[in-house]
Amino acid sequence: MLWWLKSGQVSQHPELSHRLGRAPATIPRWLAAYRQGGLSQLLATKRASGATPKIQAEVLAKFQARLESEEGSGSYGEIVQWLSQEC
């Protein structure tokens, strides 16, 4: 995106969004990040906020181990029963 802008190949945001396969609203947001903090700010990965997971990490690890074992997962009812007994 920056190269296209700096070299003058693209000057319109819609063309950038089309070339990059991103929503048109993304381009001004990226450019604002670049103006505020340079390339490092533009390339910074942000963690999406959201709801806290319903399944705790240790329960999820046990469940994944169960899925990878020979016993497998079984039906939905068996999974629910196993989770209530084990966790």
Dump pLDDT digits (tens) for 38-70.
999 998 887 777 777 777 888 888 888 888 877
In a domain, 81, yes or no: yes
What is the model's pLDDT at position 15?
A: 94
Q: What's the structural domain count of the chain? A: 2
pTM: 0.53
Q: What percent of the chain has pLDDT over 90?
A: 44
In a domain, 36, yes or no: yes
Could you list the residue range(s) of the whole structural domain that residue 27 is in? 2-43
- The DSSP output letter for 83 is H
Q: Is 38 left (phi over 0), alpha (psi -120 to 50) or beta?
A: left
- The DSSP output letter for 66 is H
Residues 61 and 30 in one domain: no
DSSP 24-82: TTHHHHHHHHHHHHHHHHHH---PPP-PPPSS-HHHHHHHHHHHHSTT----HHHHHHH
